[in-house]
Amino acid sequence: MTKRFGFTLAEVLITLGIIGVVAAMTIPTLISNTNGAQFKTAYKKALSTLNQAALMNIAMEDYDFTSLVADENADTPADIDGTTNKSMAYILQKRLNSATNITSSYTFPDAINYYSEHTCTASDISAADAEGELCYGATAGDEVTDDQEITTFTNWAVYSFADGTAFGFDASAANCGTKSSDCIGFIDVNGATNPNDVTVCTKGVEGGTGDDESTGACQVESTGINDIFPVYFYGQTVEPASDAARAVLFGK
């Protein structure tokens, strides 16, 4: 009787084909999970760095974002060099020696989505005469939450840090004592490198509550974590400006 040693060519090809199919199905997910974990870690680090810079500025200069002034070169953000005293670029250059203006080489995302909380005053309500406006139909003192979107970055500048993360901000922002659409920016955890996409809810929605996957509280799966996270800067803090950014920050 003839003994067989090894496999036939057909058996080898079939085995390789099966391995290829399995790899094609699993590798993209593994890569997405890995990127998501890296993005999350870099995001937390960048947020901590910005908050430390804000606190250091208070200790060294005795003022916070409440005293922020608009950069005099806000119409040409690529030229912002941190020479305008008390501007955001000035603070970054003073407290983060490695901060470098990369606005001219940076590709901004299509939009920065964030979630706002606003207390409607009598004047706000009287001015909101169209359905869909923030304070339409509200009474004084009502807190309103609403999806907001920034699509024009004319006055925005982007600074890169030593670890490759970047911080984009409205260079015309001033007097940031409270959350507002003027005092909003974003962290890009890999700088000018793509994809430059904003992290959004993969389950639930901004402002949602409960466990419903379509209308419930915002959740972000690891495969849905992108490289951009909107943030507010006001008072003495820099914090997430969307439920998606908060979900990534505080999620497991």
> What are the DSSP calls for 12-78, one per residue?
HHHHHHHHHHHHHHHHHHHHHHHHHHHHHHHHHHHHHHHHHHHHHHHHHHS--GGG----TTTTSGG
* 49 vs 166: CA distance, rounded Å: 11
pLDDT of residue 24: 67
Q: Is 181 helix (H, G, I), strand (E, B) or coil?
A: coil
Among 56-70, 207-221, 231-245, whose mean pLDDT is lowest? 207-221
pLDDT of residue 142: 84
Q: How confident is the model at residue 32 (pLDDT cuts 50, 70, 90)?
A: low
* 112 vs 110: CA distance, rounded Å: 7
* 4 vs 76: CA distance, rounded Å: 76
Give tens-digit pLDDT for 150-175: 999 999 999 999 999 999 999 999 99
pLDDT of residue 4: 59
If you average pLDDT over residues 17-40, what whole number do you get?
Answer: 70
Q: How confident is the model at residue 140 (pLDDT cuts 50, 70, 90)?
A: confident
> Minimal CA–CA distance to 192: which of 119, 122, 100?
100
* 156 vs 227: CA distance, rounded Å: 18
pLDDT of residue 225: 94
pLDDT tops 60 at residue 52:
yes
Q: How confident is the model at residue 47 (pLDDT cuts 50, 70, 90)?
A: very high
pLDDT tops 60 at residue 30:
no
Among 6-15, 50-59, 124-133, 185-194, whose mean pLDDT is lowest? 6-15
Measured from the Cβ of residue 231, the count of other Cβ atoms closer than 10 Å reads: 26
Element (H, E) at 143: strand 143-150
